[in-house]
Amino acid sequence: MDYFKSLAKEDKELEQEAMERSIDQTARIQKLFKGADGELGLEAIDGITGYGNNTFDSDPCKHAYNAGMRAVSVILRHLIERDVKEARKVMKGKKNE
């Protein structure tokens, strides 16, 4: 049974590290797209990925392609809006548990 306890602890530590990397990555993306130049870059990406367009196509392969392209902008915008400070607070709370 001690073996499984150590695995659970190891899994928790790995999960913690992955969450910390995710928060750090989000902070870097926010820094990259901050300011006027960042907004222009994001608008260019939106144009390329079809963010403001309808992704539907009767051809299912083309529809999937369009949706995947648009997902790039959706994910970037989600990361830019994410509250990194709040995420770090939550992480500290989980570490202390």
Structure tokens at 46: 């939106």
pLDDT at 22: 95
* Cα gap 62→28, rounded to integer Å: 32
Task: Check: CB of residue 84 under 8 Å from CB of residue 26.
Answer: yes
pLDDT at 92: 83
Question: Each residue of 51-71: pLDDT tens digit?
Answer: 999 999 999 999 999 999 999
Q: In which residue ranges of the chain is pLDDT below 50?
A: none
pLDDT at 97: 61
C-alpha distances out from residue 25 to 7, 8, 18, 46, Å: 27, 26, 10, 20
